[in-house]
Amino acid sequence: MAYALRTITEEQKRQFDTEGYLIVKGLFSPDNLTEIEQTFETMSTETVPGYFEPNLDSDAKDPLQRYPRVMHPHRFNDTAKRFMLHPPVLDVLADLYEEEAYAAQSMFYYKPPGSRGQALHQDNFYLKVEPGNCIAAWTAVDAAHEENGGLLIVPKTQAHEISCPDEADTKESFTTHYVKPPKDGVIMPVNMDKGDVLFFNGNLIHGSYRNKTKDQFRRAFICHYANASAATINFHYNPLFKADGTEVVLENNPDGGPCGIEMGEFTYH
């Protein structure tokens, strides 16, 4: 029996399957965004060891020292966990997977003015979801565009294997991994409005620009998911969560990946 789409259209599903990504407009309401903004604005003045460790010295030279990413906020913040399990997002994911999605990771990105971007990479290099794949749900808390550090994607690269990354230019990227796009690949900027969500396949090559503005943050709430039929994942992402908050623990994926060894514990954007 064929899966019947419940939330997205056949055209949207076809785009995700053929291009590796899909933007769904307005999945987060203004009230949702206000709550997210307030939660992480309060958090930005705090330290949460192991998850968020800002340098609160206003003279920090690198803006990402003052406003680093928040890793796994769902593990210590109820608002983050609730929005990681946001029903409109899970409904779209169910259609993309054609089965239930389990939440594996949450992140919040402040991306202040002047901060570096991230070199091109692939998410499932880190999450190692098998069989199946991870899918990212990247929510624009601020409008995201080329000037303030919006995302870059290479459409159709979801069909490519996971690659062992090269060294990135750390003057422009705050991470050290770089995946070279294929010769026929086109690096495309993604412009998004507040509340839009970009869904993309775990093999899709993507990254982000430097924030070149002097006065704009490019905040984003980013979560990664696994298909319910997945059997293994990088153990750093356990436990996963069902829509009702029930914990799910998958077996550790021992595969060293294309590099032959495990490289990096988490995926960043």
> The pTM is what?
0.96
The torsion angles phi and psi of 141, rounded to 5 degrees, stand at -80, -30
3-state secondary structure of 259: helix
Amino acid making up residue 197:
V
Element (H, E) at 13: helix 10-19
Cβ neighbour number for residue 104 with a 10 Å cutoff = 28
Amino acid making up residue 265:
E
Q: Which residues does the chain have with pLDDT short of 50?
A: 265-269
Q: What's the sign of the alpha-carbon dihedral 101, 264, 205, 67?
A: positive
Domain boundaries, the chain: 15-44+65-259
Rg of the Cα atoms in the chain: 17
pLDDT score of 58? 67
How much helix, strand and coil, in percent to the nearest 5, is found in the chain? 25, 25, 50
Cβ contact 213:145 at 8 Å: no
* 153-175: b (≥16 Cβ within 10 Å) or e: bbbbbbebebbebeebeeeebbb
The structure tokens 């995302």 sit at 151
Residues 6+ apart with CB under 8 A from 106: 72, 73, 74, 80, 81, 84, 221, 222, 223
Alpha-carbon distance of 134 to 164, in angstroms, equals: 17
pLDDT 10s digits, 67-86: 999 999 999 999 999 999 99
Cβ contact 266:124 at 8 Å: no
* 47-71: b (≥16 Cβ within 10 Å) or e: ebeebbebeeeeeeeebbebbbbbb
Looking at domain 15-44+65-259, its CATH class is mainly beta
- Choose among 143, 258, 252, 148: nearest CA to 203: 258
pLDDT score of 165? 96
pLDDT score of 269? 41
pLDDT 10s digits, 21-43: 999 999 999 999 999 999 999 99
